Amino acid sequence: MSSQWTSPVPDSTLTVSGDTPPAGVLRIIIPLQFAPGLMVSGRCMSNKRNNDDSVNPPGLLGKSDKGPVFEPGYHDREGKFTFVRNPEERELSVIHDLTLREIGAAVAEPDVMRRVYRHNRDSLWALYRSETAERRDPKLIGYVAYLPLSEAGHAALQADTLDACDPNLEHLAANGERPAALYTWAMVARGACDLASALVAFATGLELHDSVPIYGRIGTEGGLKALQRKGRSPTADKAKMGSLFRVQITEQERAILHAMPVVPGTPKRELKPKHIYSTAVAATADDVARAFAIRAAVFMAEQNCPYDEEFDGNDQAATHILGCVDGEPAATLRLRYFGGFVKMERLAVLPRYRLSFISKDIVEYAIALIRKKGFTRIYGTSQLHLTKFWGRFGFRPLSKNETVVFSDHQYVEVMAEFPPVSDAFTPYSDPMVLIRPEGRWDVPGVLDRSAQRPATNPRRV
């Protein structure tokens, strides 16, 4: 590579303007690492699109291309190759650990990151470095994350009611939808902030990057000092931690970005995922019947458990979780609530799905549900050969462990303890959220719709 791209803004800075109505406009200069923003999205980088014939072939991208580029990369001055792509779900835990180290503990929980990512995969881009453009043995070195806001989310941001730690999915554009705005969620890319932002702009499409507003907030003392030191208007000294700003790029800067020589990746030929997984609370009689059918097949048919022992009288007082693979019932487990803990039990997975990820998904979903309800301790009894499986989720044998035998099996008492989540439900939570269907608290339910009618207080006289 003979030519080298340089950041369009000297000293790794971007011109941005405050946008906190109704205070007016605040002209500021802020270091890019505190105001990442060369990115915008609204089109899902789905497998279908990745394999479309219109995707750029390998080689340098022409200057006229403005559509999304598949896994764009760039040769740096040190001869290394850096590129971005949507991370695999198994990498999310690594990304969250990186966030805790670089940003601190006051960040969204892993299950929130996973939920947002599944809602819109363009919300998260991982940054990798490899020796060559062949991308062999890439090393994850950072990421760029943002919230693609719907019209409602854009309004909530401007009204300062957007919950960035646990965003309402109604405030986010879904896969395939064009966002009304972009809110910078987080960025970790030591020494590569400019490059990471630019590559994400190509990955999501320069046309979108040029046309959708991008916002962020001052999140560090360094960023605040930069605002105050390099402000271009008398109102710059009014900036404070948490101030909302809007990224603005000059035409010259935009032209330099568009001319950046990026190298597209080669899409995989798989047109769709092998399997589609879904996990939810069994909310209907049909869902519960499916869960019971799985348990009957696993425990009664495979393990010769008598009917009365499997369906033990506790099912009507429990929450049942149902996991499906490609729409077919595949796994289930049961939750029962006690004073200071939850008992997780009756995990059953049909034989043909035991090599899939559904067992992992259903346990992680149940843990997230339990923590959202305010519990931090989960108790269970594990069959002896499954203690390693439960250990992956943080379950450890109890010190008091007694020999537990029932239904012809010996069990080990196990327990997992988790830190409380910041958004756990309390009596002071939104009452309209508390009455929504179990596990679907981020989606308005039938009673939300009923609230649109005026109160007539009907009663029988």
Q: Is the pLDDT of residue 299 over 90?
A: yes
- For the whole model, what pTM was predicted? 0.50
Top mean-pLDDT range of 69-78, 94-103, 258-267, 281-290: 281-290
Q: Looking at 62-76, 101-115, 150-164, which range is the least confident one?
A: 62-76
Task: Give the model confidence (pLDDT) of 358-395 as tens digits.
Answer: 999 999 999 999 999 999 999 999 998 899 999 999 99
Q: Looking at 23-32, 230-239, 411-420, which range is the least confident one?
A: 23-32
| pLDDT top residue among 210 and 271 | 210
| pLDDT top residue among 163 and 329 | 329
Q: Looking at 65-79, 228-242, 324-338, which range is the least confident one?
A: 228-242
Q: Is the pLDDT of residue 18 over 70?
A: no
C-alpha atoms less than 13 angstroms from C-alpha of 230 in its C-beta half-sphere = 16
Give the pLDDT of residue 366: 96
Q: Is the pLDDT of residue 153 over 60?
A: yes
Phi then psi for residue 331, to 5 deg, are: -155, 160
Average pLDDT over residues 436-442: 90
Average pLDDT over residues 156-162: 91
Give the pLDDT of residue 402: 76
Alpha-carbon 61 to chain mean position:
30
Q: How confident is the model at residue 33 (pLDDT cuts 50, 70, 90)?
A: very low
Q: Is the pLDDT of residue 56 over 50?
A: no
Q: Is the pLDDT of residue 239 over 70?
A: no
Give the pLDDT of residue 352: 94
Give the pLDDT of residue 431: 93
Give the pLDDT of residue 14: 28
Task: Give the model confidence (pLDDT) of 185-231 as tens digits.
Answer: 888 888 787 888 899 999 999 988 888 998 887 666 655 665 555 44
For the beta sheet containing 214-217, the strands, ordered from the edge strand earlier in sequence to the opposite edge, are 25-31, 13-19, 244-247, 214-217, 181-188, 139-149, 124-130, 81-85, 73-75
C-alpha atoms less than 13 angstroms from C-alpha of 25 in its C-beta half-sphere = 9
Helices 92-102 and 110-119: angle between axes, nearest 10 degrees: 120
Give the pLDDT of residue 46: 25
Give the pLDDT of residue 28: 23
Compute the distance between CA of residue 153 and CA of residue 295 in angstroms, rounded to an integer.
41
Strands 181-188 and 214-217: parallel
> Mean pLDDT over all residues of the chain?
80
Does residue 361 sit in helix, strand or coil? helix
Q: Is the pLDDT of residue 62 over 50?
A: no
Give the pLDDT of residue 272: 59
